[in-house]
Chains A and B, each alone.
Chain A
C-alpha cells in the first residue's frame, strides 16, 4: 500500500521569503502525486498534481513542486510567500486505476510580517 510522510508539522515563514514544504512517499511503481491546501474553515483545494512527464509541475497561486524519483519526494515550493498563503498543506498519493488518495498528516504554514 502507498503511504505519504510530511515530516514538518508546522513551519513559520516571513512574508516575502521563499518556502519549501517536504513530502516523501512510499509506493512500488510511479505514483500520482498531489498537493492540496486547506484554508481556515474551508475544505481542501487542489494546488497541483503530477502524473507523468516533466518532473517540475506548476500549480495555482504561484506554487510549484518537483518529483524526484531517486529521493521518493515531491516537495512544494514558492519563491515568495504572501500572508494569504497561511493554511494547512497536504501531500497525497494515488495509484493508476484507483481513485482513492492517501493523504499525509499535513503541514501548517504560518506567515509572519
Chain B
C-alpha cells in the first residue's frame, strides 16, 4: 500500500516562528499536495507539485511556501506563523498516469499557533 507520512501529528508554535511541515511518500508518485482542513470549510488546496522543483499555487497560498527537492518529499513552510494558520494540514500524493484523481493522504498534522 502507498504510504504518505507526515513528520508530526501535533505541533505547537509561537506567532512569528518559521514552521516546516514535512511529508514523504513511498510510491514514486509524481504529484504531491498540501491541503488545510478547517471545520465548516472542508479541504482547501494550498500548493501542488507535479514534479521535482515544480509547484503551483492552490486556492489559499498566501503565507505559505513549499519545497520539493526530491521526488518523495514535499515540505510546507510557514515563513512567519500567525494564529490564523492554526489548522489541520494534510499532505497527499497521486500518480499522474495510473490512477488520476486518486489521492493518498497522510494522517495530518494539527498545528496550533499561539
Contacts and interface: CB of A to CB of B under 8 A. Distances in A.
Contacts of A75: none
Contact of A100 (B41, B42, B48): B48
A34 interface: yes
Which DSSP category, helix, strand, loop or mixed, fits chain B's interface?
Answer: strand
A19 interface: no
A99 B31 contact: yes
Contact of A105 (B35, B40, B96, B102): B40
Interface string A29-41: 0001010100001
A46 B107 contact: no
A101 B103 contact: yes
A44 B101 contact: no
Contacts of B90: 43-44
A94 B42 contact: no
Interface residues of B, number: 27
A42 B111 CA distance: 15
Given A99-B50, A104-B42, A43 B4 contact: yes
Contacts of A56: none
A96 to B, nearest CB: 8
Interface string A83-96: 00000001010100
Interface residues on A, range: 20 to 34
9 contacts: A32-B101, A34-B101, A45-B105, A92-B101, A99-B48, A99-B96, A101-B45, A101-B103, A102-B45
Given A92-B101, A102-B45, A103-B43, 19 more contacts: A32-B100, A34-B101, A42-B107, A42-B108, A43-B92, A43-B107, A43-B108, A44-B43, A44-B90, A45-B105, A46-B102, A51-B100, A51-B101, A90-B42, A94-B100, A99-B50, A99-B101, A100-B45, A105-B41
Interface of B: 4, 31, 33, 35, 40-45, 48, 50, 56, 58, 90, 92, 94, 96, 100-108
The 7 closest A-B pairs by CB, nearest first: A43-B105, A105-B42, A103-B43, A44-B105, A94-B101, A103-B42, A99-B31
